[in-house]
Structure 1
Amino acid sequence: MKRRVCVVTGTRAEYGLLYWILRELQHDEDIELQIVVTGMHMSPEFGLTYKQIERDGFMISEKLEMLISSDTSSGITKSMGLGLIGFADMFDRLKPNLLILLGDRFEALAAAQSAMISRIPIAHIHGGEITMGAIDDSIRHAITKMSNLHFVSTEGHRRRVIQLGEQPSTVYNVGAPGIESIEKNTYLTRNQLETELGMEFARHIFLITYHPETLSNQTEQSVDQLLLALEEIKDTTFIFTKANADEKGRLINQKVEDFVKKHRESSSLYSSLGQKKYLSLLKEANLVIGNSSSGLLEAPYLSTPTVNIGDRQKGRECPPSVINSKPRYNEILKAINKALDFDFVKNDVRIFGSGNISKKIVKIIKNHQDLTSYKKFYDWEE
């Protein structure tokens, strides 16, 4: 009898990281893959990205509407409530033997809570990391404590998960799944990207994604300072991708939309570029700016420097090609100049592993056939 493995995805970025794991599960004869899409995937505002999952040849088992059109804390909490109700019914129908979750989104937290109550074992990817500027930090650790199997990206992250009381035999350092996408992706050339996007690039390309700092009340001021700094940059194409559906995400998107309208010749904004175009742009870009994890994880492997603004990613392990900046106009400009001078030849930036991470994860999952929802706390000893 095939083992039913359910994977939940709620955002375009998360799906990109899960892509090769889904492929590996899809082709395994001993596994019945169940895919549940929710959150931003189901929203016209964010591009109805569930359609890309279907175009990629995956069968979606369930679609869960849970995203309220509000970027307030109350709206996010209500979305989680809808998700908790929806996942309860969904898991009762699908009856998975294992649930796979990645990262630290509120959609994943709702899925984890429902699975825990339903006594469905959880495998969690990217635990043990720290992002001090966002509620994601607490969400990630909460999912860790509800999970039974852990796939982390560095040895330091493995140590931290064990420190949280997880049994060492259940915590595996497999590397970051996004790195596999980089190694296996076929890239569009600069000319092909210009054709695909219907625009002519300037001498430089900056790829920009700025998400809310959900533990800060300075989001509006910070994005204003970023856009003010970009006003000073000449001979550059600015390609923005929208902020996540977090508190104040729509505020950021509106400010970026206003900037793009003012600078139509040099800038554009996308709800979703898709994995191939996004990674191709990441490779062709002279610089990544903002506070997205892709600037810390994937960009260094493509020899693209990053300006990481503010505290959203504070505490996360990052290579030297990531230049941290305070969210102030003059500091951002200094960081941009420093990043553009970074020498990838003289510095090792490949700190998140390599190789067939999806194969490692699926093999480990299959080796844990007797996994149950029961957990025993591991007492950490220095």
Structure 2
Amino acid sequence: MKKLKVMSVIGTRPEGIKMIPIIKTLQNDPMIESVFVNTGQHKDQLDQVLNLFSIIPDYDLEIMKNKPSLEQIIATILIELSKILDKEKPDIVLVHGDTATTLAGAQAAFFRQIPVGHVEAGLRTFEKYSPFPEEMNRQVVGKYTTLHFAATETNKLNLLAEMVKEDEIFVVGNTVIDALIDVSSKQLEIPAHIRSIIDNPYRTILLTTHRRENLDELNDVYKAVNHLIKEYNDIQIVFPIHRNPVVRNIVSSSLPKNPRIHLLEPLDYYVFSQVMKHSHFIITDSGGIQEEAPALKKPVLVARKSTERIEGVEAGTLKLVGTNTEAIIKESQKLLDDSGYYHSFFQNKNPYGDGKTSEKIVSVIKNYFSS
């Protein structure tokens, strides 16, 4: 009997973290032939994740060699992936989320009339430029998609509002919980300088910022951090800085040298998960962290004007504070001073899944083709 051929296309670190559990499930299924394409959009950071989970791509496009523009990234992936599709002729192409790789991967499959499975479908802010360009990427990908794998009922409702057929939508949870459970079970070495940070007596505030739409307002976020460091002698800031040179320039001009502000290079996923586990709370504009932190019972202050993870806000695991200095200071103070308020963030069920999302997705794919 001919095996079902499933091609997974990813290119960034967040995609890797969330898609590797699916790729591993596909590889372990005797009825499926798995093909994995790495576009190399975030090559160094994604390679760290692939090495952690012992996953090797079948194809590695390495598209970022000449520092291409966003338009060139999409065009290159579209052209090179089309060649691979012609060679492999998969039954379905899986893409994740809302990156340039996602958009180009879905479009390449559509041009070959190959069904697309969209993992983490239905996330919406309904604001064209927030996040930019991710919001429009995921809306466009939804038009190419055959199987929509939504993390939550809210995501399903978003898709239904866009006239997606209900029998094409599957609420399966988020694979980031699968990945977090997997990586948390590992016993790996943590670099000595990181170990010294997480083992010291200070309460840790983990900070991450990288959104394009926030670049002009990052200084306001860092003003809040500076205020908190001066006000509280028992806290420290742990800040793995995004590789975007614009972000780095703003950080260097906004955050003074301070022994309790730890400016770090990006951390591999295992080490980052350990820092999250040891954090008191998190200030972030990241999407994935909004899903991961509730599983670790860590409050999250979302430094964005809007979030597509509205379930976390409704469940009380996230607090939307934007980039406003005063709002960040006020909510941070409450988390540092009010234990009742602090614990309220994780008294409710994590809305993002039970760690079995990958199995559910693979089962849906097999049922779709068997019927």
Amino acid at match of 2:114: I
Q: Shift of the alpha carbon at 1:311?
A: 2.1
Aligned to 2:221: 226
Q: Shift of the alpha carbon at 1:264?
A: 5.8
Q: Report the 3-state secondary structure (helix = DSSP H, G, I; strand = E; otherwise coil) of the residue aligned with 2:160.
A: helix
Q: Return 5+ residue gaps in structure 1 as ranges.
A: 372-382
Q: Report the 3-state secondary structure (helix = DSSP H, G, I; strand = E; otherwise coil) of the residue aligned with 2:342.
A: coil
Could you tell me whether the CA contact under 8 Å between 1:188 and 1:277 is conserved in 2? no
Are the structure 2 counterparts of residues 263 and 9 from structure 1 closer, same or farther at C-alpha, using a change threshold of 3 Å?
A: farther
Q: Shift of the alpha carbon at 1:157?
A: 1.2
Which segment drifts farther, 254-263 or 165-174? Answer: 254-263
Is 1:316–2:320 an aligned residue pair? no
Distance 2:119 2:272 in 1: 22
Amino acid at match of 1:118: R
Aligned to 1:236: 235
Distance 1:306 1:345 in 2: 8
Aligned to 1:76: 70
Q: Report the 3-state secondary structure (helix = DSSP H, G, I; strand = E; otherwise coil) of the residue aligned with 1:368.
A: helix
Could you tell me whether the CA contact under 8 Å between 1:4 and 1:98 is conserved in 2? yes
Match of 1:64 among 29, 40, 61: 61
Distance 2:345 2:48 in 1: 40
| Aligned 1:350-361 pairs, distance under 5 A | 350-361=350-361
Distance 1:331 1:65 in 2: 41
Q: Deviations over 1:319-357 (max 9, x none)?
A: 313121131222211121234442248731411231411
Could you tell me whether the CA contact under 8 Å between 2:6 and 2:33 is conserved in 1? yes
Q: Shift of the alpha carbon at 1:100?
A: 0.8
TM-score computed with the length of structure 2 as normaliser? 0.86
Could you tell me whether the CA contact under 8 Å between 1:295 and 1:308 is conserved in 2? no
Distance 1:307 1:286 in 2: 12
Distance 1:76 1:65 in 2: 15
Aligned to 2:210: 211
Are the structure 2 counterparts of residues 345 and 126 from structure 1 closer, same or farther at C-alpha, using a change threshold of 3 Å?
A: closer
Are the structure 2 counterparts of residues 40 and 261 from structure 1 closer, same or farther at C-alpha, using a change threshold of 3 Å?
A: farther
Amino acid at match of 2:342: F
Aligned to 2:297: 303
Are the structure 2 counterparts of residues 196 and 362 from structure 1 closer, same or farther at C-alpha, using a change threshold of 3 Å?
A: farther
Aligned to 1:376: none
RMSD value, Cα: 2.7
Q: Report the 3-state secondary structure (helix = DSSP H, G, I; strand = E; otherwise coil) of the residue aligned with 2:250.
A: helix
Aligned to 1:166: 164
Amino acid at match of 1:166: V
Amino acid at match of 2:72: K
Which segment drifts farther, 341-350 or 354-363? Answer: 341-350
Could you tell me whether the CA contact under 8 Å between 1:291 and 1:312 is conserved in 2? no
Distance 1:200 1:315 in 2: 30
Amino acid at match of 1:10: G
Aligned to 1:31: 32
Q: Deviations over 1:211-231 (max 9, x none)?
A: 2244xxxx3331111112111
Aligned to 1:175: 173
Aligned to 1:50: 47
Distance 1:294 1:238 in 2: 20
Are the structure 2 counterparts of residues 23 and 90 from structure 1 closer, same or farther at C-alpha, using a change threshold of 3 Å?
A: same
Are the structure 2 counterparts of residues 55 and 178 from structure 1 closer, same or farther at C-alpha, using a change threshold of 3 Å?
A: closer
Match of 1:250 among 234, 245, 249: 245
Distance 1:229 1:162 in 2: 39
Could you tell me whether the CA contact under 8 Å between 2:306 and 2:320 is conserved in 1? no
| Aligned 1:1-382 pairs, distance under 5 A | 1-42=2-43, 47-50=44-47, 52-54=49-51, 56-67=53-64, 75-131=69-125, 132=127, 133-134=130-131, 135-186=133-184, 193=190, 195=192, 197=194, 199-201=196-198, 202=200, 203-214=202-213, 219-234=214-229, 235-243=234-242, 249-257=244-252, 262-263=257-258, 266-271=261-266, 273-311=267-305, 313=307, 316-318=310-312, 319-340=315-336, 341-344=341-344, 347-369=347-369
Are the structure 2 counterparts of residues 30 and 309 from structure 1 closer, same or farther at C-alpha, using a change threshold of 3 Å?
A: same
Q: Return 5+ residue gaps in structure 2 as ranges.
A: none
Distance 1:264 1:346 in 2: 30
Q: Report the 3-state secondary structure (helix = DSSP H, G, I; strand = E; otherwise coil) of the residue aligned with 1:262.
A: coil
Are the structure 2 counterparts of residues 367 and 220 from structure 1 closer, same or farther at C-alpha, using a change threshold of 3 Å?
A: closer
Structure with higher helix content: 2
Amino acid at match of 1:240: F
Q: Report the 3-state secondary structure (helix = DSSP H, G, I; strand = E; otherwise coil) of the residue aligned with 2:69.
A: helix
Q: Shift of the alpha carbon at 1:182?
A: 3.0
Are the structure 2 counterparts of residues 259 and 33 from structure 1 closer, same or farther at C-alpha, using a change threshold of 3 Å?
A: farther
Q: Deviations over 1:227-248 (max 9, x none)?
A: 121112334332223447xxxx
Q: Shift of the alpha carbon at 1:176?
A: 1.2
Amino acid at match of 2:225: L
Amino acid at match of 1:252: V
Q: Shift of the alpha carbon at 1:194?
A: 6.5
Distance 2:300 2:76 in 1: 36
Q: Shift of the alpha carbon at 1:67?
A: 3.3
TM-score computed with the length of structure 1 as normaliser? 0.83
Could you tell me whether the CA contact under 8 Å between 1:128 and 1:158 is conserved in 2? yes
What percent of counterpart residues are identical?
A: 22
Could you tell me whether the CA contact under 8 Å between 1:69 and 1:75 is conserved in 2? no
Are the structure 2 counterparts of residues 200 and 342 from structure 1 closer, same or farther at C-alpha, using a change threshold of 3 Å?
A: closer
